Amino acid sequence: MAQKVIEPETRKLVCNKCQQEMAMAEVSATYLGANFEIELMKCPSCGLVYVPDSLATGKMEQLELSLEDK
Amino acid sequence: MLMDRQRVRDRENQCIQEQPPTCTATCPIHVDARGMIDSIRKQDFSAAFAIFNRFVPYPRIISRICDHPCQGECRRNEVGGTIQINALERAAVDYSTKRAGGVTFSSRKSQRIAVVGSGLSSLTVAYDLASKGFQVVLFEAADRLAGHLRELGEDRLPQQAIDDDLAVLKDLSIEVRLNARVGEGAGAAASLSALTEEFDAVYLGVGPDGAAAFAHELALNEDGRIAIDSLTFATSNPKVFAGGSQRYAPAAFSPITSMYDGRYAVLSIERLFQKASLSANREQQGAYQTKLFTSLKGIAPAGAILMAAPEQGYSREEAIAEAERCIHCECLECVKVCEYLAAYKSYPKRYIRDLYNNYSIVLGMHLANKLLNSCAMCGLCGTVCPEKLDMGDYIREVRQATVEINKMPPSVHAFALRDMEFSTGEQFTLARHQPGHDASSYVFYPGCQLSASSPGQVFQIYGHLQQKLEGGVGLMLGCCGAPADWSGRENLFKETIAAVQKQWQGLGSPRVITACSSCYRAFKNFSPAMPIESLWTVLDQVGLPASATPRAARTVAIHDACATRHDNGVQDSVRHLLEKLGVQVAELEDNRSLTTCCGYGGLMSFGNAEVAQKVIDRRIHESEADYLTYCAMCRDNFAGKGKRSYHLLDLICGSGEDDPARKGPGYSQRHENRAKLKTRLLREVWGENVADEKEPFELIITPEVAQLMEKRMIMVEDMRKVIAHAESTDEKILDTTTGRFLAAFRPVSVTYWVEYSVEGTKIVAYDVYSHRMEVS
Ligand code: SF4
Ligand code: SF4
Ligand code: SF4
Ligand SMILES: [Zn+2]
């Protein structure tokens, strides 16, 4: 299953380890065997991904709950 | 254990909510009087008429002359007087704006049936068969139909009403032959044997004196009437059926009995055509005793509404007022007392099926998962149900089976199970003999929740028990496994109980004294070898500590714990102790075996926080008095919603942990309290040198963040792990606008995020959240 979720990010975020500015990139999210493509802030060097509070406690949580009922 | 369909069905059938009310069960043709009256109450006379007409093919006739056996059994009779059901039927007919219920046609069938006579039984046979698609020819000896009915008198049954009802014969294309006497001799239109030749079946509705004409062809009974089987309406000729007043004479004419005869003779005729057994499955034919239970509690007596003009029947308004007296007989005893059962707007019979379907569905959404995980498993329903159906028991089975097939939503119980893991782990469990003893006659088992809510009281009471009891009082800290039981983790629960048993045996199998009702119930039901006593019973016997001071000036209302709703002894002990403490007690109406859950049982608050809130709300508003509980979770839940509540130990210990308005500790604090209780006991009771767990950094948690932690169920230890991981690996994100760090860590199946800043040696947290999805 693939579904696109886009979460705009306005803050300037820097990966502390690589000292690289993070940028929007396609990342994959997995839960209970289902896969999703999401646009999230990601470190271009080490791949560290940022999941904002609003996503985790909003759309992502809804998605988790509906997958749990599958 | 996987679920067995038959067992589920048996449970479904245990719920009698769908059994008919007495009016319907007593009516020979089972008119849905309750449904019809409901419609009148809603002022919808057309809907009422449609319901009535669905059962009664000749509504104008029956609504005026029915001998209404239903009314004799109406439950309203016990509180003011029977509902005037027949008069309401007439009102439905008179005030309906739709004149006929509409005839529905089935596909046309080839069989032809001769119906002899045009009384109510014959007319019903003709109607029922024709509307099922059979071809009907009606033979009437006179020159008009329904002669007997026409003689009842204009004020009892107007000719117009008869004519209006009989118009349906034409709609159904029933062939009517007037002046067509069936029988022997000159002038007869046909003999019975000719009819049996020509037709596939014959029905005789020939009135009380009509047997003579058939004496040569049909067997007669000793009264000289046609011998008719009272169940199947069969005569000695397999193609011939008979009923009506010919059958039940010399009893007086009963319109509804005649209609009943016709209706069930038709059933036999159909079975004849299908070559099926005539007599099978007729248990609920005619009047029978319903199993429906209806409580009359709280129903104010009210007598029948009188008619201003009896010859006109009820006026609209009178009919509505009379309909309002109907108590809409049904059971729902469990739904009345349980917010969970009420929340889903149905009743156990349906829930049981829905839950089974939810369990057995292979593809698609499990829409009833929430229904599954919202029950408190408190046993109240089983206590009030006239059939003793306990939804909690069933819910346990379904949860267990759902876990077994791996379909339990992972997030629902995860947090509660983690909390339990803490309480069964190294940081809390303990099993010791009393210092200076190498054996124990008793062991005190305070339970994990009291230890989390009021660790000081546990410490104090343990000291008191050591003083008062001989032979050594050991101590065991741990968890009985109730959360595993509630969440359907059958194996985990068994393992947990087994571990407790092993520790207990290690202490020489002493008598167990527990302060927690859930532990009491768990051990009693699932570890019967352990002799268990409640702390309250023991304190009642050995006496209270000196610190016990009668201070509660106000009267308290006792909220009994749901886990011990059937343990009268425990409940009595609590009351004795309160008496000794000099506390005035007001009993709640729903006390002892009728007590409710506090919202914690069955992990209800994790499965459905809204319903858990309703449960608490309903309970705390039952009395103005401060509540007195003897379960830590009950107290914390009530106090959490602003209800002043004591734990019994608050009054007994008088230690300072006893303000009835205090909120219970948060999740993280509960862990800490348990761990600290163990350390304190080891140090102060057993004199051990236990090093303090030193936290590697100071973490500042603002009240806002603390609130988020409770709401999002995140523990301080999770936050510390995130920060420690970020600081040691440098895997963290700098938000350049705020200068704060954003970091995540996933210990097992949940990713935790913390937004924080480093202030010298201290860490300040600003936000915390989690998700289960894995992102990369
Ligand atoms: S009170 Fe209403 S539902 Fe109950 S028996 Fe009487 S008419 Fe029927
Ligand atoms: S919450 Fe209690 S009363 Fe309600 S269904 Fe469950 S066990 Fe029965
Ligand atoms: S109390 Fe509830 S479960 Fe029991 S018969 Fe009545 S409706 Fe059904
Ligand atoms: Zn990086």
Distance B545 CA to ligand 1 centre (A): 58
> Do residues B772 and B750 make contact, with C-beta atoms less than 8 angstroms apart?
yes
- Which residue's C-alpha comes closest to atom 4 of ligand 2? B338
Contact call for A53 and B775, based on CB within 8 A: no
Residue A42 in contact with partner chain B when CB distance is under 8 A: no
Closest Cα to residue B348, out of B370, B381, B380?
Answer: B381
Residue A10 in contact with partner chain B when CB distance is under 8 A: no
Q: Answer whether B20-100+316-325 and B112-274 agree in fold.
A: no
Asked if residue B657 has pLDDT above 90, the reply is: no
Q: pLDDT tens, B229-255?
A: 999 999 999 999 999 999 999 999 999
Instruction: pLDDT band for A10, please (50, 70, 90 cuts).
Output: confident
Distance B775 CA to ligand 4 centre (A): 15
> Do residues B110 and B125 make contact, with C-beta atoms less than 8 angstroms apart?
no
Interface mutation target, options A9, A22, A40, A65, chain B, most CBs of B under 10 Å: A65
pLDDT number for residue B635? 97
Contact call for B771 and A17, based on CB within 8 A: no
Q: Find residues 724-743 of chain B whose CB sits inside 8 Å of chain A.
A: 729-737, 741-742
Q: pLDDT tens, B134-185?
A: 999 999 999 999 999 999 999 999 999 999 999 999 999 999 999 999 998 8
Q: pLDDT tens, B686-711?
A: 999 999 888 899 999 999 999 999 99
Q: Tell me which ligand sits closest to the C-alpha of residue B343.
A: 2
Contact call for A51 and B409, based on CB within 8 A: no
Q: Which residues of A touch B767 (CB under 8 A)?
A: 53
Residues B138-141: contacts with CB under 8 Å, at least 24 apart: B138/B169, B138/B174, B138/B175, B138/B176, B138/B177, B139/B114, B139/B115, B139/B177, B139/B180, B139/B181, B139/B182, B139/B189, B139/B190, B139/B195, B140/B176, B140/B177, B140/B178, B140/B179, B140/B180, B141/B117, B141/B179, B141/B180, B141/B181, B141/B182
Which CATH number belongs to the domain containing residue A60 in this structure? 3.10.20
pLDDT number for residue B381? 98
| Nearby residues of B284 by Cβ (< 8 Å), 6 or more positions away | none
Please tell me the CATH superfamily of domain B20-100+316-325, with its number: Alpha-helical ferredoxin (1.10.1060.10)
ipTM beyond cut 0.90 = yes
Q: Tell me which ligand sits closest to the C-alpha of residue B590.
A: 2
Q: Find residues 323-362 of chain B whose CB sits inside 8 Å of chain A.
A: none
Distance B382 CA to ligand 2 centre (A): 8
Residue A38 in contact with partner chain B when CB distance is under 8 A: yes
Residue B767 in contact with partner chain A when CB distance is under 8 A: yes
- The architecture that CATH gives domain B112-274 is 3-Layer(bba) Sandwich (3.50)
DSSP assignments along B301-367, one per residue: P-PPPPPSSGGG---HHHHHHHHHH-------HHHHH-HHHHHTTS-HHHHHHHHHHHHH--SS--T
Instruction: pLDDT band for B107, please (50, 70, 90 cuts).
Output: confident
Q: How far is CA B726 from the centre of its chain?
A: 50
Structural domain count, chain A: 1
Judging by beta carbons within 10 Å of its beta carbon (0-12, 13-18, 19+), is residue B97 exposed, middle or buried? exposed
Regarding the beta carbon of B392 and ligand 2, being less than 6 Å apart is answered yes
Sketch the domain layout of chain B as residue ranges.
Answer: 20-100+316-325, 112-274, 333-402, 414-543+666-680, 556-653, 698-771
CA distances from B161 to B65, B86, B118, B130, B666 (A): 11, 16, 16, 21, 74
Q: pLDDT tens, B309-333?
A: 999 999 999 999 999 999 999 999 9
Which atom of ligand 1 is nearest the CA belonging to B75?
5
pLDDT number for residue A6? 52
Give the domain range for residue A32. 3-69
Q: Which residues of B touch A7 (CB under 8 A)?
A: none
Q: Which residues of B touch A1 (CB under 8 A)?
A: none
Q: pLDDT tens, B384-410?
A: 999 999 999 999 999 999 999 999 999
Residue A60 in contact with partner chain B when CB distance is under 8 A: yes
Distance B737 CA to ligand 4 centre (A): 18
